[in-house]
Structure 1
Amino acid sequence: MSTFDFTAQDIAGSTVDLSKYKGKVLLIVNTASDCGFTPQYKGLEKVYEQFKDKGAVVLGFPCNQFGGQEPKGEAEIGAFCEKNFGVTFPLFSKVDVNGAGAHPLFQHLKKEAPGLLGTQAIKWNFTKFLIKKDGSVYKRYSPQTSPEELVGDIEKLLAE
């Protein structure tokens, strides 16, 4: 199974087949608007701008499972991200990333790239997954890892 085998609802409610990103490097992030890490939206947008024409895409998945830090609805989330951080990368509808209702994409990502000590659960907002061009999961990064710190790995995967 590959990342490209999944679908997700975009922020406007349309179904997106992730196979449309085949051949691209993906940075998939669970996001939130009211989190200490929320300023990472700016770094994510910077990475997206740097690599979007070179074959890499950032995908943001808002999640309200950590301290209720994403209470807004989809329209508000989109407006907030655009107004405050100039976000132009694709945003998706809110998802659960842990528990029985976790989105199948995140179930897959967690299984393929477990966290510290092999735990699968995502610990907080802005956990990042880097996906190779073939749809396989390259690596999981902690919320503390800034988007800019991933530039070297993204360049490496684009060169493969």
Structure 2
Amino acid sequence: MSIYNYLVKKPNGEILSMETYRGKPMLIVNTANQCRFTYQLEDLQKMYEKYGENNFVVLGFPCDQFDNQNPEDGEETTQLCKINYGVTFPIFELVQVNGETTHPLFNYLKHEVGFREFGKANMQEKMLAQAIFQIAPSFLDGRNIRWNFTKFLVDGNGKTIARFEPTDSQLDIEQVIEKIL
């Protein structure tokens, strides 16, 4: 399988093939409107603008799986992201990223690239790990996505290059993006 074999749904209900993004490096992110990491939408928009001339795209997939931090549908989420954070990159319909109803794209991404041990990188991550342990301890296990704003970097050939946790710095992410551009 390839990332280009997957279909995603736009907020208006239109089905889009990931083939649309063939040849473009992508940063695929599970987002949320009411999360303490929601400020990252501004950072993602800046990356989208900064690297857009290199065909780089950011793709946002809202997810309400983490403490109900995105109860809105895709259309409302898109509007909130645009109004509150100036987002112009594509936002899709809500998805599940863990469990039995995991969207196939995220199931694929989680198995394409390794993950690092979580909860030890910095104080913010330690605190997040404690919160996850209380809310949904299974999200800390294995390949599961631990929280909103987990990011997957895919190169222009469709190869998943890296996974970034919500607590990883924008500078570290940009360094890896620049290597593949």
TM interval, short-chain normalised:
over 0.9
Report if aligned partners of 1:27, 1:57 keep a CA contact under 8 Å in 2: yes
* Secondary structure of residue in 1 paired with 2:53: coil
CA shift, 1:86, in A, is 0.4
CA shift, 1:148, in A, is 4.2
Aligned to 2:76: 76
Q: How many residues align?
A: 158
Once residues 32 and 147 of structure 1 are traced to their aligned partners in structure 2, the CA distance between those partners, rounded to angstroms, is 17
* Secondary structure of residue in 2 paired with 1:97: coil
Report if aligned partners of 2:74, 2:91 keep a CA contact under 8 Å in 1: no
Pairwise CA RMSD of aligned residues?
1.3
- Greater relative contact order (CA < 8 Å, ≥ 6 in sequence): 1
> What amino acid is aligned across from residue 57 of structure 2 in structure 1?
V
Aligned-residue identity in percent:
42
Aligned to 2:177: 154
> What amino acid is aligned across from residue 136 of structure 1 in structure 2?
K
CA shift, 1:91, in A, is 0.6
The structure that has the greater radius of gyration is 2
Aligned to 2:21: 21
Segments of structure 1 that go 5 or more residues without pairing to the other structure are none
Once residues 52 and 12 of structure 2 are traced to their aligned partners in structure 1, the CA distance between those partners, rounded to angstroms, is 21
Once residues 63 and 77 of structure 1 are traced to their aligned partners in structure 2, the CA distance between those partners, rounded to angstroms, is 10
* Secondary structure of residue in 2 paired with 1:53: helix
Deviations 1:83-112 (A, max 9, x none): 000000011000000011000000000011
What does residue range 51-66 of structure 1 map to in structure 2 within 5 Å? Answer: 51-66=51-66
**Scaled by the length of structure 1, what TM-score is found?**
0.94
Aligned to 1:93: 93
Aligned to 1:33: 33
Segments of structure 2 that go 5 or more residues without pairing to the other structure are 118-140
**Scaled by the length of structure 2, what TM-score is found?**
0.83
Q: Which has the higher helix share?
A: 2
CA shift, 1:123, in A, is 0.4
Once residues 18 and 100 of structure 1 are traced to their aligned partners in structure 2, the CA distance between those partners, rounded to angstroms, is 22
> What amino acid is aligned across from residue 33 of structure 1 in structure 2?
N
Once residues 5 and 57 of structure 2 are traced to their aligned partners in structure 1, the CA distance between those partners, rounded to angstroms, is 17
Aligned to 2:151: 128
